[in-house]
Chains A and B, each alone.
Chain A
Amino acid sequence: MMTKNRPVFLDLTQLSFPIPAIMSVGHRASGILMVLAIPFLVYMLDLSLSGAEGFATAQSVFSGWFAKLLMFVLLWALLHHLLAGIRYLLIDFDIFVDKEMGTLSAKAVMVAAPILALFIEVLL
Chain B
Amino acid sequence: MSRQASGLRAWVLQRISAAYIGLYIIYATGHFIINPPQSHADWKAWVADPLVAFALSLFFALLLVHAWVGIRDVLIDYVKPIMARVALLTLFGLGFLGCGLWAAKVIFLAAMPS
Contacts and interface: CB of A to CB of B under 8 A. Distances in A.
Interface of A: 28, 31-32, 34-35, 38-39, 42, 45-46, 48-49, 51-52, 54-56, 78, 82, 85-86, 89, 92, 120, 123-124
B25 A78 contact: yes
Contacts of B60: 42
Interface of B: 15, 18, 22, 25, 29, 32-33, 36, 39-41, 43-44, 47, 60, 63-64, 67, 70-71, 74, 92, 95-96, 99, 102-103, 106-107, 109-110
A26 to B, nearest CB: 13
A28 B74 contact: yes
Given A38-B99, A42-B99, A42-B102, A52 B39 contact: yes
A40 to B, nearest CB: 10
B52 to A, nearest CB: 12
Chain B interface SS verdict (over half): helix
A124 B35 CA distance: 10
Contact of B22 (A28, A32, A54, A85): A85
A46 B103 CA distance: 8
B22 A42 contact: no
B110 A35 contact: no
Contact of B109 (A38, A49, A56): A49
Contacts of B40: 48-49, 51-52, 54-56
Contact of A42 (B32, B106, B109): B106
A123 B15 CA distance: 29
Contact of B106 (A39, A46, A123, A124): A46
A56 to B, nearest CB: 8
A76 B43 CA distance: 26
